[in-house]
Structure 1
Amino acid sequence: MDRLFARFANATARAAGSPIAFILCVTVVLVWAVSGPFFQFSETWQLVINTGTTIVTFLMVFVIQNTQNRDGAALQTKLDELIRSSDAGDEFMGIEKLTDKELEALHAKCERAAKQSQAMLDKTRAERKMRKGRAK
């Protein structure tokens, strides 16, 4: 069932995001708008477009959410594998499951490390500049 829905969601998301789908939707709206005078812009005429768009939107939310959830999980898995196979700290694996407070603490740690790295880089550049100045 999961695999079937995943294929359906992917195919639907691809089709819904295509230029042809957009043109088809614009055409439907234009035909609906042009038909207004024939139906004296009645409540039923308005209800047709409101109901249609509501149903499509409601269903597409679930399809798109499913597709994004799977894409996000796949991306996280790829990032975790890159982290695991590199010299990066393993503490970053699975951080998408941390609480906001834990993420903020990890972010602050990364900012401190980045500042230290930048300070070291600045110091190294200054030393190289001094050596070049003495060598002349």
Structure 2
Amino acid sequence: LIGLFGAPVFAQFGGGFGSVARPTFGFIISFIFAAYVTGWMIERGNGNPSVVRFIAATLAGMAINYLIGTNWMYVAYKFWAEAPKGFSYALAWSWMIVPLPKDIILSVIAGILSPRIYMSVRKSASYHQRVA
């Protein structure tokens, strides 16, 4: 929110309501939905999520990020931003090919490391005070 009020926290140290019109702003917005779905996937079940569930949740969050972000970018370039010559929906998705393998690998690594962190947080005193 502070970025929307002018704090330079977005790419190229931009801020303000004009950031919403940037083609990449959809990736920022997508984090809200990705976090909700990822958390929902982890929290459902028996309270002791498996590594497989964490990996699935991180990959789902990544997919949401790509879906919302890439579609926002397409719409922005089609309707208000200056699109590169020959821009198309297929081209927008082809731009995602480069970072996709890295993001999949990082999501799997995060999914493998997360159960230990998750259980440590659940055992912490501050977590129990917050829940009680």
TM over 0.5: no
Greater relative contact order, per chain length (Cα 8 Å cut-off, separation 6+): 2
* TM-score normalised over the length of structure 1: 0.31
Structure with the largest fraction of helix: 1
